[in-house]
């Protein structure tokens, strides 16, 4: 898997792209298939999109794979999703490693089964030195919960006397998020036509550009990623500054 050079005169790719993968269930329903079939096709879209991100020179790709709210789904569906996660970690990590891709997992691991946590630890360790692309999977993840956990860490440090309350600033809180060593996303994409962020990277997306695609996640791939990047490059990113 080769990384394509940026054509002369073309803008550089966004450093960090984050995607809310939505539409597996609707894709399956439209075809008279069980939701499991949609999730399986969604896993294929993950593979295509990771390959495309690496080829296009994106440095960080974060995928919203399983939210903290997804635990409320029917038990059978959660079981199927966890099974797909196991398969991905067992079967795809060697390919990621071969292609120089680092795997990172963010989220509340305490709710994951011990064997999945072990697979995560092994996968992260195996790929830790890779630099072609960092693939971040948000699992059992919620943006509000992440901020609450960071606030608790800050409060504990103040109570212990290792941090002064007036020393708490944006940098101090950012340093206690799951993404402390990952740059904030430049571009956030949501598939399936929905136009909300669903508790995803709330703090980190403060100045991200958002692209909402009508394509259902199982049909997403390089063409759709490039479309979103073209939209991104057409934006005037002022970070709160007055318009020119």
Give catalytic status of residue 70 as yes or no.
yes
Return d(Cα 38, Cα 29) in angstroms, integer: 8
- Point out the catalytic residue in the list 22, 99, 186, 219: 22
Q: If DSSP codes are grouped into helix, strand and coil, which group holds residue 211?
A: strand
Write the DSSP assignment of 113-128 as a string of letters.
-HHHHHHHHHHHHHHT
Provide CB contacts within 8 A for 74, sequence distance 6+.
Answer: none
238 annotated as ligand-binding? no
26 annotated as ligand-binding? yes
71 annotated as ligand-binding? yes
Give catalytic status of residue 99 as yes or no.
no
Structure tokens at 163: 């941090």
CA-based R_g, the chain, Å: 19
16 annotated as ligand-binding? no
197 annotated as ligand-binding? yes
- Cα 204 to chain centroid, rounded: 12
Pairing of strands 187-190, 133-141: unpaired
27 annotated as ligand-binding? yes
CB-based burial of residue 190 (10 Å sphere; 0-12 exposed, 13-18 middle, 19+ buried)? buried
Of 165, 166, 148, 147, give the one whose Cα is nearest residue 157: 165
Contact (Cβ atoms closer than 8 angstroms) between residue 179 and residue 205: no
Return d(Cα 244, Cα 242) in angstroms, integer: 6
39 annotated as ligand-binding? yes
198 annotated as ligand-binding? yes
69 annotated as ligand-binding? yes
77 annotated as ligand-binding? no
**N-term to C-term CA, the chain:** 41
Return d(Cα 28, Cα 39) in angstroms, integer: 8
104 annotated as ligand-binding? no
209 annotated as ligand-binding? yes
- Point out the catalytic residue in the list 70, 130, 199, 231: 70
Which of the residues are catalytic? 22, 70
Residue ranges for the binding site? 22-27, 35, 39, 67-69, 71, 73, 190, 196-198, 209
Residue ranges for the binding site for substrate? 23-27, 35, 39, 67-69, 71, 73, 190, 196-198
Residue ranges for the binding site for Mg(2+)? 22, 209
């Amino acid at each position: 898997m080769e990384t394509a050079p940026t054509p002369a005169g073309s803008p550089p790719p966004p450093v960090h792209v984050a995607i809310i993968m939505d539409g597996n269930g609707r894709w399956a329903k439209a075809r008279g298939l069980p939701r499991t079939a949609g999730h399986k096709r969604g896993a294929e879209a993950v593979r295509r999109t990771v390959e495309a991100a690496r080829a296009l020179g994106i440095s960080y790709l974060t995928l919203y794979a399983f939210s903290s709210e997804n635990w409320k789904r029917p038990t059978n569906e959660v079981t199927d999703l966890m099974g797909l996660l196991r398969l991905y970690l067992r079967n795809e990590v060697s390919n990621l490693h071969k292609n120089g891709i680092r795997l990172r997992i963010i989220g509340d691991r305490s709710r994951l089964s011990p064997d999945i946590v072990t697979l995560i630890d092994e996968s992260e360790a195996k790929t830790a030195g890779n630099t072609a692309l960092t693939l971040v999977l948000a699992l059992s993840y919620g943006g509000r919960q992440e901020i609450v956990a960071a606030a608790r860490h800050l409060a504990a440090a103040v109570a212990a006397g290792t941090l002064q309350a007036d020393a708490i600033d944006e940098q101090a809180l950012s340093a206690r998020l799951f993404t402390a060593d990952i740059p904030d996303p430049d571009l956030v994409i949501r598939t399936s036509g929905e136009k909300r962020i669903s508790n995803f990277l709330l703090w980190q997306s403060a100045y991200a550009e958002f692209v909402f695609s009508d394509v259902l996640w199982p049909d997403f791939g390089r063409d759709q990623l490039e479309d979103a990047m073209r939209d991104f490059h057409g934006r005037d990113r002022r970070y709160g500054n007055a318009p020119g």
